[in-house]
Amino acid sequence: MKSDFFFMGLALEEAKKAYGLSEVPVGAVLVSDSLEILSAAHNMPILSGDPTAHAEILAIRSAACGTGNYRLPESILYVTLEPCAMCVGAMLQARVRRLVFGARDPRSGAAGSVVDLTQVASFNHSIEVTGDVRAEECADILRRFFRERRADRTRI
């Protein structure tokens, strides 16, 4: 059976695509409860000129269009970086059942690092969360990206 490790590997492949486009390297893969891939996406806010074009949002949009349903119950979202508040909000609205993320985001993580919007008692939905899956690989691509960005700025 395919595992969290496997699907996070696919999300890492998406992150590499973002890296190649000079976007912050975050990738996401959304799967059904039967582990069928519904969508895959990577960050695109810079190239699209859309501040909401995070990997998670793009994956949710694509899966909703593909299934013909704005609700994605029983789905599992794999993402290389702990989602921000906007992305967790989209997951809640789409009724994603489970979130699996790689690296934690100590600056804007909304699945436990800064706040935890996945388990708010007054919300009508909650999300099961598994963090730190392939965390070092997920963090490494981000560290490399930002190290290169800082080095490029010093050359100017």
Contact of 95 with 72, CB cutoff 8 Å: yes
Q: How far apart are CA 81 and CA 146, in angstroms?
A: 14
Identify whether 13 is a catalytic site residue. Answer: no
Determine which one of 14, 23, 36, 56 is catalytic. Answer: 56
Q: CA–CA separation, 103 vs 119, rounded Å?
A: 19
By DSSP bridging, strand 37-42 and strand 27-31 are antiparallel
Amino acid symbol at 108: S
Residue carrying structure tokens 């690989």: 137
d(CA 156, CA 150): 10
Please give the positions annotated as active site.
56
